[in-house]
Amino acid sequence: MSKKVYYSYNRISTPKQNIERQVRNALEVYPDAHVIKEVYTGTKTDGRKEWNKLYKLVKKEAASGKDIVIVFDSVSRMSRNAEEGFKLYEELFNLGINLVFLKEPHINTETYKKALTNQVAMTGTNADILLKAINEYLLTLAKEQIKIAFEQSEKEVEDLHKRTSEGIKTAKLNGKQIGRIKGNKYTTKKEIAAKEIILKNSKDFNGNNSDAEVIKIAGISRNSYYKYKAELKQNME
C-alpha cells in the first residue's frame, strides 16, 4: 500500500484575517501535511489560484496511484457554493482522493465510503426488494448529509452579507459616516513616524543625511519619501 500524501488547504477571505489558526488545527492532527495558503473573497473555486494548482496536482498524483488526502478546517474552506462544492466533492471522491473536514467529520469521504460499502447483503429471496430499498435510502442519506453541509456554508455567507448590508443601512439612518469621507486626508501612524525621521535626519531640514540615506533609515519607498518631504515643506511655507 502506498504511503498517504497529505495536503492542508487553508483559505481566508481578507488579508486581515489570521490563517494560522486553520494551519495549526490541521498540523495538530496531520503534522506531515503540505500546507497551502490562500486569500480569496469569492465563493467560486475557479478563481482560486492556489486551489487550482493543488487540484491539478492531486488529480495527477491520484492517477499515478498515490494515496492523497486533502485536509480542510471546515467545509466552508473547500467551497461556499453548495452546488459547486458537492459536485467537486463527488469528483474528488470518484478519483480516489480522500477529503477530511476537521469541523464536520461526519462528511469525510471515509464516512461516505463506508455508506457505499456497508450495504445490507442480499438474501436471494423476496426480502431483497426491501433490502435494496434500504441500501438506496442509506446512500441517499449519506449524499444529503454532504449537500446539507455545503448548503449551510453557503447560507452562512449569505447571512453575513445580509447582516453587513443591514448594519450599514442602520448606521446611515442614524447619521453615522460609513467609510472614509471623499476629499479628507487621513494620516497613519506609519506616516507620522516617517515624517519625524525625515525632519530629524534629512539635510533639507534638521539633519545631515542624503535622501537615499533617509529612505533607508525610515524604511519607506522612494515615492512615499518624496511625497512626505514635499508635504513637510508645504506645511512650513
% pLDDT > 90, the chain: 23
Same domain for 98 and 207?
no
121-143: average pLDDT? 60
- Which residue among 87, 112, 142 closes a domain? 142
Greatest Cα pair distance, the chain, in angstroms, is: 101
**pLDDT of 56 above 90:** yes
* Residues 46, 114 within the same domain: yes
Instruction: With H, G, I as helix, E, B as strand and everything else as coil, classify residue 19.
Output: coil
Residues 28 and 92 in one domain: yes
The residue among 87, 96, 76, 73 whose CA lies nearest residue 21 is 73
Record the cell numbers describing residue 170, joined without a space.
442602520
Distance from C-alpha of 140 to C-alpha of 144, rounded to nearest angstrom: 6
Domain count, the chain: 2
How far apart CA 163 and CA 182 sit, in angstroms, is 25
Domain-embedded: residue 167: no
What pLDDT, in 10s, does the model give residues 70-86? 999 988 888 867 778 88
pLDDT tens string 23-42: 999 999 999 999 999 987 76
Given a cut of 80, whether residue 215 has pLDDT beyond it is: yes
Question: Domain check: are 12 and 95 in the same one?
Answer: yes
Tell how strand 4-12 and strand 67-72 pair up: parallel
Q: CB 168: neighbour CB atoms within 10 A?
A: 13
Give the separation between CA 85 and CA 150, rounded to whole angstroms.
6
pLDDT band at 66 (very low <50, low <70, confident <90, very high): very high
Nearest CA among 3, 69, 82, 81 for reference residue 40 = 81
Q: How confident is the model at residue 62 (pLDDT cuts 50, 70, 90)?
A: very high
CB 81, CB 154: distance < 8 Å: yes
pLDDT at residue 156, as a whole number:
60
**Domain-located, residue 138:** yes
Domain that holds residue 86: 4-121+130-142
State the CATH number of the domain containing residue 53.
3.40.50.1390
CB 30 within 8 A of CB 6: yes
Same domain, yes or no: 25 and 135: yes
